[in-house]
Amino acid sequence: MKISGFISYSHSDGKEITEGLYEYLTNLLPNFQPIYDDNVPEGNKIEKIKEKLSLCHILIVIITPASINSISISEEITLAKERGMKVIPCKDKYVTQGWNELPWDINEYKGIDFENSGELKRKLVYTLSKTIQEVVEELEPLKTEIQASKETIDQMSLIVQTDKSVYIYNSDMICSIINPNKESNIPISLKIFDEEKKIVYKNSIPIDPQGTGIYQEIIRIGGEGWLKKPGSQYVIVAEHEGKTARLVFFLSDFGVSIELDQKVYSWKDIVRIVVVAPDLNLDSDKVERIGDNQDSLITIKTKLGTLTNYELVETGPDTGIFIGELHLTGFHHDPLGNGKVPTGFGMTLGNGPDNGMIAADYDDEITVILKTPYKTYSGGALIRWNIGEAQWMQAEYKIGDTGVFAIIDPDMNLNPNLIDMFEVRIWSDSDPVGTKVLVIETGPETGIFKGDIQFGTETKGTAIMVEKGNTVCVEYIDHTLPCPYNKNDNLKITSMAIIK
């Protein structure tokens, strides 16, 4: 059963988000069909949109600043509410109104707050996986009634029914068998066959002559012999005294999304991994792990290192979202130009979810690969060095002032768990030799380093000699330059201020 959802958005500022979301949901959720106005046929487009919306099961509302005054969005929400559709409102961080201040009465629905399209995709795919299941459950009685009616042409027919048509692996099925024949001594034979026509479940149900003729079985979908392949088809066969009833059901197939927290990393950054995989949430009561078992093997690769069987941990029971992180450790290199290579550079070890280290080159990429018995998924990002920047906080200073300056270079965030520091040179026209000043990172992982120096009449301690009209220069030598520079090249980065 394919569930459809209409995406409502403002063309002024929501089109790019919607187009990316449409492609993402189409690829990730095979049992979900997203629709938005750009894939609605031409003609009387407003009427066509309303017609398409009326045939959908779910309305996704992308709430951006421009959408607040959109008449069409208001009409689409009203129509969805009239039809009793599921509504998933998604509010962008740039919307200044709170949920209670929005012009539509949608507080009854659980909304999603998002800061960027990546966060929206992660949150929405999880919410959709739950909502799709709810829709399937609501539609199932009608489908079951239609299926059952085919079997009731003969009032003495054997009928088999289930509470759903799609099941998550390791969930429970309620299977009902209706058998009006209460006088037989022969039990009902109940079997479940997989796609390869192998029996994965069987049971004999004795006839109760005093009962209602309705028999129920609670069957765990999963275990030894069951195929875990997402989307697998199974057939239930009930037999009794020459009569047979059949019913088909499927395993869920929500797909897998692998995302990293950045598109480009420096060589010593922390890489944070998010895997959205509802089908790998096998036990709704436990916080599970993936990556180190036969159902899910995770490999992480760079040019210089490989981590195998890397574990990720679920964010909570029954979320289907798995997270982990690892440190890039760079390679054997002297980033300060002092002839020393810091300890731990170029190491590769760890098994997750947060103790991994992997070596990385200055022009590299990191790839996370999740392999299941049926499909392989991957996600990745680039690893690049950067050209540093130097800047004074003011363009002009007076004698006696303290000058504050910053060095910006993500490559010098050598330990993302600590505050890093190094020295730069400050010189003036009156003191061309200058002095060295310590710059200190503004916080772990910022890659922004600040320092200060006093402008005086002599060079002493934390002061440098200047005169009126002097140029004062901060000089940082960058030893971590991106291509086309060679990894052993260096570049002087300077910034100047004037003494008034």
Q: Give the pLDDT of residue 95.
A: 93
Q: What is the pLDDT of residues 38-59, one digit of tens each?
A: 654 444 456 777 777 877 889 9
Q: What is the mean pLDDT of the chain?
A: 90
Categorize the per-residue pLDDT at 144 as very low, low, confident or very high, splitting at 50, 70 and 90. Answer: low
DSSP 408-467: E-GGG---TTS--EEEEEEEESS-SS-EEEEEEESSTT--EEEEEEEEESS-BTTEEE--
**Which residue from 178, 168, 256 is spatially nearest to 216, judged by alpha carbons?**
178
Residue 357: its pLDDT value, please? 97
pLDDT computed for residue 188 by the predictor:
95
Name the phi and psi angles at 220, rounded to 5. -80, 120
Question: Nearest to residue 349, comparing CAs of 381, 309, 303, 378?
Answer: 309
End-to-end CA distance of the chain: give it in Å, rounded: 76
- Model pLDDT for residues 263-281, shown as the tens digit of each residue: 999 999 999 999 999 889 8
Distance CA 455, CA 467 (A): 9
Band (143; pLDDT cuts 50, 70, 90): low
Per-residue model confidence as pLDDT tens digits over 207-243: 999 888 899 999 999 888 898 888 889 999 999 999 9
The architecture of the domain spanning 257-384 is Sandwich (2.60)
Asked if residue 224 lies in contact with residue 170, where contact means CB atoms within 8 angstroms, the answer is: no
**pLDDT given at position 46:** 66
Rounded CA-CA distance 92/62 in Å is 8
* CATH T-level topology, domain 152-251: Immunoglobulin-like (2.60.40)
Report whether 203 contacts 225 (CB < 8 A).
no
Give yes or no for a cis peptide into 432 (omega within 30° of 0): no
CATH 3.40.50.2020 assigned to domain 3-137? The reply is no
* Alpha helices in 29-108, H assignment, sequence order: 45-54, 71-82
Q: Determine which helix (DSSP H) or strand (DSSP E) holds 271, and give its type and residue range.
A: strand 270-276
Other C-beta atoms within 10 Å of 330: how many?
Answer: 29
pLDDT for the residue numbered 39: 52
Which residues of the chain does CATH 3.40.50.10140 include?
Answer: 3-137
- The whole model's pTM is what? 0.68
Residue ranges, CATH 2.60.40.1930, the chain: 152-251, 257-384
Window from 118-122, 304-308, 383-387, 433-437 with minimum mean pLDDT: 118-122
Distances (CA, A) of 19 to 2, 61, 114, 385: 21, 14, 16, 32
Provide the percentage of residues in the chain whose pLDDT is more than 70.
94
3-state class percentages of the chain: helix first, strand second, coil last, to nearest 5: 20, 40, 45
Q: How far apart are CA 126 and CA 141, in angstroms?
A: 25
Task: Kindly indicate the confidence band of residue 146, based on its pLDDT and cuts at 50, 70 and 90.
Answer: very low
Please say whether the structural domain 389-499 has been given the CATH code 1.10.8.
Answer: no
pLDDT value at residue 183:
87
